[in-house]
A and B are shown apart, each in its own frame.
Chain A
Amino acid sequence: KQEVTQIPAALSVPEGENLVLNCSFTDSAIYNLQWFRQDPGKGLTSLLLIQSSQREQTSGRLNASLDKSSGRSTLYIAASQPGDSATYLCAVRRSTGTASKLTFGTGTRLQVTL
């Protein structure tokens, strides 16, 4: 059974700092990995999607990397801003099956302070 772990569970950084969020998974047979953002009381917003054949994806100040063989992904946030404060979730998708079912980590709650 696939298990996804995110460390740390919570993180507080001052504005402007670069930071890395970690995601690890136990079964390397994945189709892709997706990073989401969730604001308090809200739904999930997709940030980045990395296919299993890719090493990284970038969107603005966000960069996600994937090392499938070691079961790890990182989300790098450059020049953090208070608006980046949210919970960040990673989810992996199995290689097989007719529907793309996701297994989620429990998230990292990020607070960016002024």
Chain B
Amino acid sequence: NAGVTQTPKFQVLKTGQSMTLQCAQDMNHNSMYWYRQDPGMGLRLIYYSASEGTTDKGEVPNGYNVSRLNKREFSLRLESAAPSQTSVYFCAIGTSGRLRTLYNEQFFGPGTRLTVL
């Protein structure tokens, strides 16, 4: 997981509280992604950013917002947390666009374990 950092590692929220998950990379990759991982569901894409200044919805975007602050940082915000958002959240990075010849391999951060009571 070298090159991708996530904060915090653990968080417990009460229903209705808000919080922001932070992700930063030092690999100079264009694309950044937020996934959630739930038992029996696999990893599902929440939002992604193909490059600085752009963001797009993934498979399960409801209840989340994102900000691509700069090339290094991509944050995920829960405005009003719900128990259904209890999950492990992973940030990932990868190449895109004209760098597709570099195989588009994705690299993952260590994850944030979130519990919403």
Contacts and interface: CB of A to CB of B under 8 A. Distances in A.
A18 interface: no
A104 B111 contact: no
Contacts of B103: 32, 49, 51
Contacts of A49: 103, 105
Interface stretch (A62-70, A71-79, A92-100): A92-100
B53 interface: no
Interface residues of B, number: 32
Q: Name the prevailing secondary structure of the A interface residues.
A: strand
A101 B105 contact: no
Contact of B94 (A36, A44, A100): A100
B31 A99 contact: yes
Contact of B96 (A4, A34, A98): A98
A42 B110 contact: yes
Interface of B: 1, 4, 31, 33, 40-45, 48-50, 56, 58, 90, 92, 94-97, 100, 103-111, 113
